[in-house]
Chains A and B, each alone.
Chain A
Amino acid sequence: MPRQCPRSMSATVPPVRQDLRALYADHHSWLLGWLRRRLGNAADAADLAHDAFLRLIVRPAPDGFATAGAARAYLRAMAQGLCTDLWRRREVEQAWLESLAAQPEIYAPSPEHRALVIETLMQVGEWLGRLPQNVRTAFIHAQIHGLSTREIADHIGVSQRMVQKYLAQAMLHLALIDAGLEPSGARRPQPC
C-alpha cells in the first residue's frame, strides 16, 4: 500500500506512466555499469540489476518518472540499497559459515537450509539492531540457547532482575513490530 508522500516538485508535472520495457531498454545497461563499478563483480552486478527491475515490476514507482534523470535517480537509490543489503548479507553469511566451520564436527548445511537461516538472521538482526547491546544479548541467549534468567545473568554479569527487564523490553519491541504497532526498521516504504 503506497504511503502518502508530500507532493514533490516532480509530482506537479503530469505523471508519465513509463512502460517498463522502455525503462529497461533506456536504463538497464547504464544501471549494470553503475553496479559493476560499485561491486567490482559482473555476476553480482547482473543479479542486482535484475533485482532492481524486478522490484519495479512488483512495486512500480507511484507516479511514473517525469524525466530520464528522475528514473535514474530512483534506480540508483534502489540499487544503492540493494548493494548495502548484499554486503550485509555476505558479512552475516560469512560469520555464520566461519563459526560453523570452526566446530569440531563436520557439518554441511544444505543450500536451502542455509538460505533460510541467512534470511532469518537478516530479519531478526534488523529487529534486534535497535536494542541496546545488553538487551539484545540477553534476548539472544534466551531465544537461541534457551537459557534461564539466572544463566543469562551469569553470562552478561548483571542481576537476574535486570535480565528479566531486558527480556521484557526486547520481547515488547519485537511483539510491537509483529502486531504492526511499530515500524520494523530498515524495510521501509517508498521514499518520497
Chain B
Amino acid sequence: MLTSPYPVAAEDLSVHADYDSLKEAAEWYAALQDAQASAGQRAAWQRWLDARPEHRRAWAHVETVSRRFALLRVEGEREAAEKAVQVAARRTPPRRQAAGRVLALGGAGILGWLAWRFTPLPTIVTAWRSDYATGIGEQRSIVLADNTRVWLNTRSAIDVHFTLDQRELTLKSGEILVDTGQDTHQRPFFVETRNGRLQALGTRFTVRETGNDVLLAVYDGQVRIRNLAGRDALVRAGEQTRYSADDISGTALADPAREAWSRGVILAENLSLAELIAELGRYHAGYTAVDPRVAGLRVIGRYPAHDMGRTLSMLERDLPIRAVRTLPWWITLEPR
C-alpha cells in the first residue's frame, strides 16, 4: 500500500529536468509572455511539452517559480510588492559573504522551501484567498477580536467574519481547534463547514475537513451541528462525531489525538503504520511509501509532528522496519 500526502505522477519523481530542458522551458516562458504569441506558437509549445518527460518536468519548474510570486500579485499591493522586492534584491548579501554564514536551510527555511515546491496548486489557491492559512507542516495560533483562540493545523485555511450580531468562522480546508472567548456582546459563535454549520456553546473543539465528511470533536462545552440536510445533533464535551451533508453519525469518545496536534504531537493509539504515515504526511511535503508487508503493523505512542527524521528513527526502534531514503523527499518504509 502506498500512502502519499497527494498524488504524485510517477514521471514527476523519476525524471529530472536537465539543464537543456530548463533552458528551453525558460525560453518558451519568455516567448509566451509576448501578448502577440500566435496560436501556432502555442501549439508548438504544446508539442515541445509533449515531446519528452524531461520537458514536462522542466516546465513544472517554470510553473513553480511563477507560483512563488503569487502572493505578490494581490490586487492593491502590486506596487508595494514591486518596490519591496527591489529593496530585498539589492540587499542580498554577495555570494562569498553568504557562504561564510551559519544560516543554514534549517527549520522553517527548508520546510517553507519544500512546502512551496511540492504544494499542489489547489491548496495554494485556497490559501491566498483565506484570511488565515497554513502551508504544509505549518501550524499557527491566532487570537480573534473576542479573545477566541484558533489553532490552524497543517494545510488549513479559514475566513473570519464577525458582524454586529454574530461571530462566524468558515473552515475552507484542513483542521482547526477553537477555544471560544467570552464575547462582551454575547454574539453567537458559528463555524461554517462544507457539510453544515456548527454553533459553539461556550467551548473548546476541533473541526477537521476530510474531503468526504467533517470530524467534530468536543473537549469542553457543547457544539450543535446542523448539516446541509437540516439534521441537528448536539455533541457534548468528551464526544466526537462525523457528519456529511446528509448524515450525522452517532457520537463516540473524543479522540485525544485530535487535540494533541495543537501541541505538535501525533498521538498514535493503535494506528496502523500506514495510517500514521498518512497522518504525518499532512505535516510534511514529499512522499513516503509504505511497503505492504509492514503497512498493517500497529503503532502506539506519541510522535513529534514536525520532526520527520526523529519520528522515523523512533519507528525504526519500535518496529521491525527500516526507512530507506531514496531521494531527499522520497522515503520508503520496508521490512528490516
Contact = CB atoms under 8 A, between A and B. Distances in A.
A150 B294 CA distance: 58
Given A124-B68, A125-B87, A148-B33, A81 B92 contact: no
Contact of A129 (B79, B90, B133): B90
Interface in A97-141: 97, 99-100, 103, 105, 107, 109-110, 112, 116-117, 119-126, 128-131, 136-137, 140-141
A176 B117 contact: no
Nearest to B31: A164
B132 A112 contact: yes
A38 interface: no
Contacts of A103: 76, 79-80
Interface of A: 1, 54-55, 58-59, 74, 77-78, 80-82, 84-85, 88, 91-93, 95-97, 99-100, 103, 105, 107, 109-110, 112, 116-117, 119-126, 128-131, 136-137, 140-146, 148-151, 160, 164-169, 171-172, 174-176, 178-179, 181, 185-191
Interface in B67-115: 68-69, 71-74, 76-93, 95, 98-107, 109, 112
A150 B34 contact: yes
28 contacts: A54-B107, A55-B104, A55-B107, A59-B106, A74-B102, A109-B77, A112-B132, A112-B140, A112-B142, A120-B68, A124-B89, A125-B89, A126-B89, A126-B92, A128-B92, A142-B33, A144-B78, A149-B35, A171-B26, A174-B65, A174-B68, A175-B58, A175-B61, A178-B117, A179-B61, A188-B103, A188-B104, A191-B101
A59 B104 contact: yes
Query: Interface on chain B toward A: helix, strand, loop, or mixed SS?
Result: helix
A186 B101 contact: yes
Residue from B23, B89, B107 whose CB has the most chain A CB atoms within 10 Å: B89
A121 B328 contact: no
Query: Interface on chain A toward B: helix, strand, loop, or mixed SS?
Result: helix
Contacts of A88: 88, 91
Contacts of B102: 55, 74, 77-78, 81, 190-191
B12 to A, nearest CB: 12
Given A120-B68, A126-B92, A175-B58, A160 B34 contact: yes
Counting contact residues on chain B (CB < 8 A from A), the size range is 35 or more
* 9 tightest Cβ-Cβ pairs between the two chains A and B: A125-B88, A129-B92, A148-B35, A99-B80, A96-B84, A167-B30, A172-B26, A171-B26, A168-B30
Contacts of B62: 171, 175
Contacts of A84: 93, 101
B262 to A, nearest CB: 17
Given A109-B77, A144-B78, A171 B30 contact: yes
B17 interface: yes
B87 A95 contact: yes
Contacts of A110: 131-132
